[in-house]
Structure 1
Amino acid sequence: MKKRFMPGKVLAAILGTALVIAGCGSSGATSDFAKSAVDTAEYGVYEEAAMADEAGGSFENGGETVADTSRKLITTVNLTAETEDLTVTMTNVEKKVSELGGYIESSNIYNGASYSGYSSSRSADLTVRIPAKNLDAFVDSIEGSNNITRKSVNVEDITLSYVDTQSKKNALKTEETRLLEILKSAETVEDLVTIEDKLADVRYQLESIESQLRSYDNLVDYSTVYLSIEEVARFTPVEKENAFSRMGKGFMENLSDVGEAIVEFFVWVVSHLPSIILFVLVIVVIIVIIKKADAASKKKRMKRMAMMQQPVMNQPVMPNPVNNVNTPAGQEKGQDGNK
């Protein structure tokens, strides 16, 4: 009996094989889809960033038409001032800073005294942050009540850097939105991990850029003033003086310095009097010890010399035979013998 060909069964077998193959490759296809979607999102972000950079370039080329209020300027002022009363000046500075809506970022005050007793002029170094719109008013107040010996102003234009950073922020925001949309359509754990890793990296970059923008805003909105104040007895003249005036001023300053040096010397002597007395006592004790030691040594030498001379003085004197013969007594003895 011949077997009949059954096309229905063959078709069913082919369909079953196709389903098995499709099932085996489903996970790989889904993963490829997630990676492709992430790459597409990145490409879109890069394209937007490039367009933003072009926009920044056009901003630079057409900068003349942009209003001054749109520019990002960082202003830094350095002031060195002299005052006759540091306490009053510091009070006025703090009051003016508060009135203008600023704040003192750092303060270093030297009261002109030390442990050694040496005194010098008092001084203060301040870092002041003033709203940019009130900077001129603050500088004018310092110049009006003090003697300015040094002043410098530096203005840095960060407009292009600010626009470029802002465009990068917008591009990262767009990338974050696209990644969130792709995350909703992810079907496997591998896809979720891949997209979330990329999303975390984008958010980290976004936080860094936002922090940089906040720093820019603070530097632009608040100008920085480095203020150095010194208390002096006489202001340093800023106008040009003639020779006679300079000689007279130099003589008076030198005379004043000599007087101050004498006062400082007496202050030093009085403040170090206990140490000086102790030092003098030590010197006196050393001198007394040296004198006593020298006297004792001299006495020993005298005694030794006396002992060496005593045996010589105690020896008997022997008569000289020759002398006896020549004496009259000897001659008499000789004559008696002859008789």
Structure 2
Amino acid sequence: MRQIFFIFLAVLTFISCEKRSEDAAVADMSISAVKLSSPSQPAEDKNIVIPQKIIKEAFLKFETNDLEETYNQIKTAIATNKASIQNDSQEKDYGTITRRLTIRIPSQNFDAFLESISKGVSYFDEKNISAQNVTEEYIDLNSRLNTKRKLEARYIEILQKASKISEILEIEKQISAIREEIEAKEGQLKYLESRVSESTVSIEFYKTIAQKEGVKISYGSKIWNAIQSGFFSLSDFLLSLISVWPFIVLFCVLAYFIRKRFKRKKI
């Protein structure tokens, strides 16, 4: 029993030391050639190098003479580069018809895809391409995750040797808290890896509507709006009359008696 107590104290000491050294250890890592290793890991793991982690994104906006032809060109580029459409929307206003696409594409095909959809475009209204280096964040998450996993393994070892109910409950509580932290960091790491492995390209292309077509549409809309406005005005007037009907009845009755009285005076 005394041996278990000393082991438990050793784990608590290990926790405090790990928390103090965790941030310092991560800060000292080199981004270009970082080695995920620890004193307890085999010597060959020290040669593991983390490749650069880059999140690539792009936004393109341009005018086209044929929306359907441009869309077919984009679909061909999507199929060729193993991409997929996440969002597809279209809208029409007074002067233009616009279509918007959000596309996810394997990062290794990012440049080839942009080159394919740029063919035939005279100029871009907007063209924004970004590359965010998240290698340091990736390394930090990996380092913290490895620390938590080692800590969990130490607690599991102690749990197997514990005999008192109070000790078992306390150790299981610590293991549960560490497991939650591990799962949270694993989720963050998977999300980061997903954004690195697949790039996002947003495309907005539009066609300008002919001026005379816009005038016809606008004139017809004005006529219809005028008809609707007249109907609603008449409805409002009738509703107003209905709401004051007691006053109208009273006015008619008074007018009748006043008229009758004047007729008697004349006689």
Aligned to 1:71: 52
Aligned to 1:183: 159
CA deviations 1:275-321 (Å, max 9, x no partner) are 58879x99xxxxxxxxxxxxxxxxxxxxxxxxxxxxxxxxxxxxxxx
Q: CA deviation at 1:45?
A: 4.1
* Gap change, CA 1:142 and 1:184, over 3 Å in 2: same
Aligned to 1:268: 221
Query: Could you tell me how far apart the structure 1 residues matched to 2:151 and 2:98 are?
Result: 54
Query: Could you tell me how far apart the structure 1 residues matched to 2:58 and 2:222 are?
Result: 44
Aligned to 2:112: 137
CA deviations 1:86-115 (Å, max 9, x no partner) are 2332233234223312222222221x27xx
Q: Between Structure 1 and Structure 2, how many residues are aligned?
A: 219
Q: CA deviation at 1:32?
A: 4.6
* Gap change, CA 1:45 and 1:98, over 3 Å in 2: farther
- Residue 162 of structure 2 aligns to a residue in which SS? coil
Query: Could you tell me how far apart the structure 1 residues matched to 2:195 and 2:185 are?
Result: 15
Query: Could you tell me how far apart the structure 1 residues matched to 2:66 and 2:139 are?
Result: 46
- Larger % of helix: which? 1
* Gap change, CA 1:193 and 1:33, over 3 Å in 2: farther
Q: TM-score, normalised on structure 1?
A: 0.56
Conserved 8 A contact 2:33-2:50: no
* Gap change, CA 1:149 and 1:86, over 3 Å in 2: same
Q: CA deviation at 1:145?
A: 3.4
Aligned to 1:96: 77
CA deviations 1:126-178 (Å, max 9, x no partner) are 22111111111111122103342211111111111111111111111111111
Q: Which moved more, 1:266-275 or 1:74-83?
A: 266-275
1:135-174 alignment, distance < 5 Å: 135-147=110-122, 148-174=124-150
Aligned to 2:66: 85
Query: Could you tell me how far apart the structure 1 residues matched to 2:155 and 2:220 are?
Result: 77
Query: Could you tell me how far apart the structure 1 residues matched to 2:75 and 2:19 are?
Result: 49
Amino acid across the alignment from 2:30: F
Conserved 8 A contact 2:95-2:214: no
RMSD over equivalenced CA pairs, Å: 3.4
CA deviations 1:224-245 (Å, max 9, x no partner) are 1121111236xxxxxxxxxxxx
Aligned to 2:206: 230
The structure with the largest alpha-carbon Rg is 1
1:154-303 alignment, distance < 5 Å: 154-232=130-208, 257=211, 259-260=212-213, 262-268=215-221, 271=224, 275=228
Query: Could you tell me how far apart the structure 2 residues matched to 1:134 and 1:97 are?
Result: 10
- Residue 190 of structure 1 aligns to a residue in which SS? helix
Query: Could you tell me how far apart the structure 2 residues matched to 1:276 and 1:45 are?
Result: 74
Q: What is the percent sequence identity of the aligned residues?
A: 23
Q: CA deviation at 1:185?
A: 0.4
* Gap change, CA 1:270 and 1:71, over 3 Å in 2: same
Q: TM-score, normalised on structure 2?
A: 0.69
* Gap change, CA 1:32 and 1:215, over 3 Å in 2: same
- Residue 59 of structure 1 aligns to a residue in which SS? coil
Runs of 4+ in 1 over 6 A off after TM superposition: 276-279
- Residue 30 of structure 2 aligns to a residue in which SS? helix
Consecutive unaligned residues in structure 2, runs of 5 or more = 35-48, 236-267
* Gap change, CA 1:34 and 1:189, over 3 Å in 2: farther
Query: Could you tell me how far apart the structure 1 residues matched to 2:50 and 2:130 are?
Result: 18
Conserved 8 A contact 1:48-1:171: no
* Gap change, CA 1:144 and 1:33, over 3 Å in 2: same
* Gap change, CA 1:31 and 1:91, over 3 Å in 2: same
* Aligned residue among 96, 101, 112 for 1:126: 101
Aligned to 1:320: none
